[in-house]
Structure 1
Amino acid sequence: MKIYWTLKSITELKDLSFRERGRRWRSAYKSAFRHWQTWGGIALCGAFGGAGAYFGGIASTAIFSGLGGFIYGQIVTHVILKYYRHRLQGEAN
């Protein structure tokens, strides 16, 4: 599985300008919330943050929340590439 660090890491977006990348990403991102995987990613992110708060202090909460946010980002990217790749490529919505 490929890890996407930035929008430039996504093949369909890498040659576009900063503004165009953002515009296409936002168009697809809004639609990602129609899928259970995205909501599962949000729950997982919250669970990581909660686990960090339960098992440690403020530093642990920040680290676990950051890890949960990273995992959520990968899940959303996977959902968008699976269902909304055509929006990233600039075809009709």
Structure 2
Amino acid sequence: MKIYWTLKSIPELAGLTLWERGTRWRSAYKSAFRHWQTWAGLAICGAFGYVGSYFFGIAGIVVLAGLGGFVYGQIVTHVVLKHYRHRLRGETG
């Protein structure tokens, strides 16, 4: 599985300006919440934060919630690439 660190690392967005990348990503990102995988990723992020707070206190929240946020970002990117790749390319429909 490829890890996407920034929007520029997504092939469909790589050659665009910063403004155009952001516009196309936001369009597709909003639609990602129609899929259960996105909501599951958000729940995973919250669960990581909870586990961090329960077992490790404030430092655990920071570290594990950050890790959960990373996992959530990868899940959302996967959903967007699977279902809304056409929006990233700028195609309508």
Category of TM-score, reference length = shorter chain: over 0.9
| Map of 2:17 onto structure 1 | 17
Instruction: For 1:26, give the aligned amino acid.
Output: R
Inter-partner Cα distance in structure 2 for 1:38 and 1:6: 18
Provide the alpha-carbon RMSD of the alignment.
Answer: 0.5
Distance in 2 between the 1:70 and 1:57 partners?
Answer: 20
Instruction: Letter of the 2:79 partner, please give it.
Output: V
Gap runs ≥5 in structure 2 = none
Task: Mark the runs of 5 or more structure 1 residues left unpaired by the alignment.
Answer: none
**For this pair of structures, how many residues does the alignment match?**
93
Q: Deviations over 1:20-79 (max 9, x none)?
A: 000000000000000000000000000000000000121111000000000000000000
Residue type at the aligned position of 2:51: A
Aligned-residue identity in percent: 72
Q: How far apart in 1 are the matches of 2:25 and 2:61?
A: 29
CA distance in 1, matches of 2:33, 2:4: 19
Counterpart-to-counterpart distance in 1, 2:15 and 2:62: 34
Residue 50 of structure 2 is matched in structure 1 by: 50
- Structure 1: how far apart are the matches of 2:33 and 2:25? 13
Question: What is the CA distance between 1:91 and its match in structure 2?
Answer: 0.3
In structure 2, C-alpha distance between the alignment counterparts of 1:49 and 1:58, rounded to whole Å:
10
User: What is the CA–CA distance in structure 1 between the aligned matches of 2:92 and 2:21, rounded to whole Å?
Assistant: 16
After the TM superposition, list the runs of 4 or more consecutive aligned residues in structure 1 that deviate by more than 4 angstroms.
Answer: none
